Homo-oligomer: A and B are copies of this chain.
Amino acid sequence: MTAASAPADVRHQARDGRLTGPTAGLAPGFTQANLVILPREHAFPFLLFCQRNPRPCPVLEVTEPGDPVPRRFAPSADLRTDLPRYRVWRDGELADEPTDISSLWQEDFVSFLIGCSFTFEAPLLDAGLPVRHIELGCNVPMYRTSIDCVAAPPFRGKLVVSMRPFLPPQAIQAIQITSRFPAVHGAPVHFGDPAQIGIEDISRPDFGDAVEIRPGETPVFWACGVTPQVALMQARLPLVITHSPGCMFVTDRPDAELAAN
């Protein structure tokens, strides 16, 4: 696997079982997406939850019931096989972490592709901004906040945010750049004092890895795609399938196409 692989190559390696780990850095320049699969009866309230909370849940595509092909973002792909690893959730508990979900597929499954911050990190780096967790080669730090999402029963929960530390002029530039990408979380939701959004200890993220905040830097917080996963788990549905963390779906769409216009 080389970093320059085309999206279809990455997906084929996942399909063949040659790729079973994270997709960060693969097929650079192409949008990667979070995946949520659930039965049609829950698809309407989940789409409603996304519509009501577009910052953490930017919907890129929703498939027709039973159709495993994301016809707009990757018409040659198969969502049952083309991710390196999946998570199967039963009654809100992690039940399995397979590399293929063909045997679990149901005719009423609806798949959601949801935007991912990978897409806006590329233009941050292109602008010369240092992105700490990428420099460190670790996962972005993520925190549960005290901010309630707008509920769409049975889906509800707190907003989860990711954090990147910047000097103020860098933060301003990062706000400008990410504002152009509403389809992948858009502008930050907060910067500065973590306590103002209910984060008690910035050195202990709830998900991902801690990163250093250096003198003069301010933490900048973006709505995070873990938010819908938390809402899904809390709803304790009989069956939900998602991507495994870091093992995203690689689409055929260039990141640049997701810039607002």
Q: Which chain A residues (139-198) contact chain B, with CB distance < 8 Å?
A: 150, 153, 179, 182, 187
The CA of A52 and the CA of B61, in the complex, are separated in Å by: 7
Which chain B positions have C-beta within 8 A of A187? 261
Determine whether the beta carbon of B150 is less than 8 Å from that of A72: yes
A 37-54 binary contact with B (CB < 8 Å = 1; else 0): 000100110011001100
Min CB–CB distance A50 → chain B (angstroms): 8
Given the known inter-chain contacts A260-B260, A261-B187, please indicate yes or no for A48 contacting B62, CB distance below 8 A.
yes
| A231 contacts B by Cβ under 8 Å | no
Min CB–CB distance A56 → chain B (angstroms): 15
The CA of A222 and the CA of B45, in the complex, are separated in Å by: 30
| A206 contacts B by Cβ under 8 Å | no
Add 16 more A-B contacts to A44-B44, A47-B47, A260-B260 (CB < 8 A): A40-B44, A43-B44, A44-B47, A47-B48, A47-B51, A48-B62, A51-B51, A51-B59, A51-B62, A52-B62, A52-B72, A64-B153, A179-B260, A179-B261, A182-B182, A187-B261
- Where the two chains meet, the residues of A that have a C-beta atom closer than 8 Å to any C-beta of B are 40, 43-44, 47-48, 51-52, 59, 62, 64, 72, 150, 153, 179, 182, 187, 260-261
Identify 21 residue pairs between A and B in the complex whose beta-carbon atoms are under 8 Å apart, listed by A's number: A40-B44, A43-B44, A44-B44, A44-B47, A47-B47, A47-B48, A47-B51, A48-B62, A51-B51, A51-B59, A51-B62, A52-B62, A52-B72, A64-B153, A72-B150, A179-B260, A179-B261, A182-B182, A182-B260, A187-B261, A260-B260
A-B CB proximity, top 8 nearest: A44-B44, A47-B47, A48-B62, A51-B59, A43-B44, A51-B62, A187-B261, A260-B260
